Structure 1
Amino acid sequence: MVIELSWPQVSARRLERAGLNGRPPGPTGPDVARPDAAGSDAAGPVAAVAAMCGAHAQVMSAAEASIGLRLPGVTRAAVREALWSERTLVKTYGPRGTVHLLPARDLPIWVSALSSAPAATPVATGDVRMTGEQTEQVVEAIGKAVTGAALTIDELSEAVVAATGPWAADLVMPAFQTYWPRWRQAMALAAHRGAFVFGPVRGRKVTYTAPPDAPPVTDGLARLVTSYLTAYGPATPEDFARWAGGPVRWAGEGFGAVELEEVLFEGRRAWVLAGDTAVPEEPPRGVRLLPYFDAYVVAGRPRELLYAGEAAARALAGGQAGNFPVLLVDGNVAGVWHQRRSGNRIDITVEPLRDLTAGRSRELEEQVERLGEVLEARPRLTIGPVTVGAHA
């Protein structure tokens, strides 16, 4: 008999597992391939990042907020310590080829999973595109260059060109009103192959270095599907493919490698891990502020349920989630917000899409105070229209 699940039930389940229901995230579900429930990582940044299947880190302050808002008492300093001092987190290209923070101990799973995806159709035109042989040369050169070193992009570029040939240096890739050398189109692929991770910032310059030593795994795709379904199920292979940035057929292979259970989610067929059908008894409640590209909204599907009504027009950018920081009320997107920092002050403007009760207003004020703690600044709240457009 197929279990039927409603949106409020699934919303409450996802919030609980994301650590957005007032309690820190932790391992849930049968045979979860996520952090162990022991040791210092069990209630810290590593556990939070693992529970959300990676923290989007193109905007680093947003990644720090995503993690800190899920963990009582944790500030951006703890995230930075885990990333640069303890090295229990790594910064690299993750799902969809975008920059993420990932648990260092899970990196072999991600490398195994993402490197197994068939190569995407190149978007570069013929005079920009690299051949398969050139791409392999670049990936190998990157891995060799960062071994035992932390290189800036200019230093890495010099090493790659020296190892491959002058063709790699051709300035043919349009990027931010300038042009990048040809070889840089292979950066995400090289990261997915485990050639490098981001290193500590040198002054204001990003560096790249070798990933931490760890034995490889061969079942990464199945384990990534397991973590994804634990956090964001019920879901379909199509949902996973959009989230991970791979083809549906590849996603289907991952689903086929895991023991699943079919459910009806708001009338559509979807899947959870076998035996993992439990949902909280209470419906979703509470007010949350989620920053740019928070994993919860990026992975949250169907969009029409999470971004119901006016929220779809106001808080999505061409159907894409994450380009606006959002106000979450009782599990649904109910507004947008923006922060502007000046010294040790943060001005936070929140634009609700509906009137907030007195209780919800107090919860919002508490979220603003907590955000200030996370980002180590004094916050000031303004309720009103957000005039800043979507983040690219």
Structure 2
Amino acid sequence: MNKQQAVQLARLRLANQHIQQPPALDPTGVVRFMTAMQAQDLPGAKRSIALRSPGATLATVDDELNSGAVVRSWPFRGTLHFVVAEDLEWMLDLTATRTVTGAATRHRQLGLDSDTFEKARAVAIASLEGGRSLVRDALFAEFRVHGIDTTSNRGSHLLWYLSHTKTLCFGPMVGGAQALVLLEEWVEHPRRLSHDEGARELTLRYFTSHGPATLRDFLWWSNLLTGDARLGLDAARDNLESLVVDGAEYWMPAGTLAQPPLRAVVQLLPGFDEYLLGYANRTAVLAPEYWERIVPGNNGMFMPTIVAGGRIVGTWSRRASPKRVAVLPQPFEPLSAAQQRGAARAADRYAAYLGVPLAP
């Protein structure tokens, strides 16, 4: 795609993802709208929620986690996401069985068989029932007391499996860590959707929140079977419109293309934000020559990004203490004076989110 097309797609995504001029949604409303938000980096994922919710702070996001309105689990691709609590089970129903089956070889390598998984399930239930919660290391300690080895990444795979099979999810905050709870106890009113109903709802909500996006983007993001995704897209067409770029059809909410373009605002996005991670093809927002700067060494760790005019123009880091935070931009090319002022305003917003002064 040419630069003009890339900028158009990027700016439409900024608006539809509620990054630019977000509506008055509370943090739970943001997660519900976004459907699922990648969350393997917990601090960054909480910031991703707050930047789409005007006035939200770290404390208000934690309040939503502590209330049980938002949970963290592995609904798609075997990857941690935030979802609203009531949606988790029907999302797991769509792909979890295939995801678990796909991990069978790795589980055999780790010596994790069905007997071990069921023993761990019994220990987890006994340790957590009655509304109790334990952080990861504390639950690992319970496993070891009962003769279940958690070394060599076995403990993480036990949590992964028990979450995919609807025993566990991450719930309230305990200090800086998120504690594990029993899904059945923590989520009191789960929604019940049939497989086809779930596929249709997921498709509509993805293209509404992430559009413009292609069917390929959605298949990568959701890990749905192609037939299910096409069924969902056919059911959602009346609520969507599309744009063809380089022969690919990009779907988005109906009325998107008639909206006036938003004024460009510089954003400081956390690593793993859906703005970059929500798509199989990321060239609309990131020039390929800068990929190595975002994922150094291609190690799977995504750096926080500076976004200007919809395009990623650099990375940033922070130095934080309980009393202040410093924001350190690392642009790919020198920022213009206007972009520098925009980045400074974004840094102020980040400090306000943390509730500490911005270091000079």
Give the TM-score normalised by structure 2: 0.81
Is 1:217 equivalent to 2:216 in the alignment? no
Query: For 1:16-55, what aligned pairs fall within 5 Å after superposition?
Result: 16-24=15-23, 43-55=25-37
Question: What is the match of residue 115 of structure 1?
Answer: 96
Alignment of 1:135-146 (within 5 A): 135=117, 138-139=120-121, 142=124, 146=128
Residue 16 of structure 1: how far off its partner (Å): 0.9
Cα displacement string for residues 143-173 of structure 1 (whole angstroms, at most 9, x for unaligned residues) = 56533232434664576689xx85xx145x5
Q: Distance in 2 between matches of 1:270 and 1:126?
A: 41
Quote how far apart the aligned CAs of 1:120 are. Answer: 1.5
Shift in Å, 1:139: 5.0
Measure, in 1, the Cα distance between the counterparts of 2:327 and 2:236. Answer: 43
Q: Distance in 2 between matches of 1:283 and 1:298?
A: 22
Q: Name the SS for the 1:71 alignment partner.
A: coil
Q: Give the AA of the match of 1:255.
A: R
Structure 1, residues 302-333: CA drift from partner, whole Å, max 9, x if none? 22222115422322346687610000011111
Residue 210 of structure 2 is aligned to residue 226 of structure 1: no
Structure 2, unmatched stretches of 5+, are: none
The alignment status of 1:240 with 2:218, answered yes or no, reads yes
Confirm or deny that 1:75 pairs with 2:57: yes
Contact 1:15-1:284 within 8 A present in 2 as well: no
Residue 9 (str. 1) matches residue 8 (str. 2): yes
Partner of residue 365, structure 1:
344
Alignment equivalent of 2:232, drawn from 243, 252, 257: 257
Mapping for residues 106-185 of structure 1, pairs under 5 Å:
106-115=87-96, 117-118=98-99, 119-124=101-106, 126-131=108-113, 135=117, 138-139=120-121, 142=124, 146-152=128-134, 153=136, 156-157=139-140, 166=147, 169-171=148-150, 173-175=151-153, 180-181=154-155, 184-185=156-157
1:114 and 1:192 in contact (8 A); partners too: no
CA-CA distance at 1:267 after TM superposition: 1.2
Instruction: Tell me the number of residue pairs that the alignment of Structure 1 and Structure 2 aligns.
Output: 345
Tell me the equivalent position of 1:207: 179
* SS of residue paired to 2:106: coil
Quick one: which amino acid aligns to residue 329 of structure 2? V
Between the aligned partners of 1:287 and 1:83, the Cα distance in structure 2 is 28
Instruction: Name the SS for the 1:257 alignment partner.
Output: helix
1:100 Cα deviation after fit: 2.8
Give the SS at the match of 1:19. coil
Equivalent-residue separation in structure 2 for 1:74 and 1:274 (angstroms): 26
SS in 2 for 1:334: strand
Q: Is the 8 A contact 2:319 2:325 kept in 1?
A: yes
Q: Tell me, what secondary structure is at the counterpart of 1:362?
A: helix
* Unaligned 5+ runs, structure 1: 25-41, 382-392
1:92 aligns with 2:73: yes
Q: Which residue is 1:329 aligned to?
A: 308
Greater CA deviation, 299-308 or 53-62?
53-62
Q: In proportion to residue count, which structure has more helix?
A: 2
CA distance in 2, matches of 1:370, 1:192: 36
8 Å contact kept, 2:220–2:280 = no
Output the TM-score relative to the length of structure 1. 0.75
Give RMSD over aligned pairs. 3.3
Residue matched to 1:389:
none
Find the residue that maps to 1:350 and give its secondary structure. Answer: strand
Residue 152 of structure 2: SS of its match in structure 1? strand
Deviates more, 1:49-58 or 1:322-331: 49-58
What is the distance in 2 between the residues matched to 1:92 and 1:125? 19
Counterpart CA distance in 2 for 1:60 and 1:374 is 15
CA change 1:273–1:358 in 2 (3 A) is closer
Q: Give a deviation string over 1:187-220, Cα, whole Å, max 9, x none.
A: 2233233322224345676532123112432232
What code does the residue aligned with 1:213 have?
E
Q: 2:335 maps to which residue?
A: 356
Deviation for aligned residue 1:223: 1.7
- Once residues 202 and 48 of structure 2 are traced to their aligned partners in structure 1, the CA distance between those partners, rounded to angstroms, is 20
Alignment of 1:313-324 (within 5 A): 313-317=292-296, 323-324=302-303
Change (3 A) 1:312 1:204: closer
Q: 1:140 to 1:228 in 2, by over 3 A?
A: farther
In the superposition, relative to structure 1, how do residues 60 and 313 fare at CA in structure 2: closer, same or farther (>3 Å)?
A: closer
**Worse-superposed segment, 143-152 or 345-354:** 143-152
Equivalent residue for 1:195?
Answer: 167
CA contact (8 A) 2:20 2:262 kept: no
Letter in 1 for 2:209: A
Q: 1:62 aligns with which of 28, 44, 47?
A: 44
Give the whole-Å Cα distance in 2 for the aligned partners of 1:322 and 1:205: 19
Conserved 8 A contact 2:317-2:328? yes
Alpha-carbon offset, residue 301 of structure 1: 4.5
- 2 CA distance for matches of 1:157 and 1:230? 39
The DSSP-based 3-state class of the residue aligned with 1:307 is coil
Please say if residues 31 and 49 of structure 2, whose CA atoms lie closer than 8 Å, have aligned partners that are also in contact.
yes
Cα displacement (A) at 1:373: 0.1
Q: Shift of residue 224 of structure 1?
A: 1.8
Further displaced range: 189-198 or 278-287: 278-287
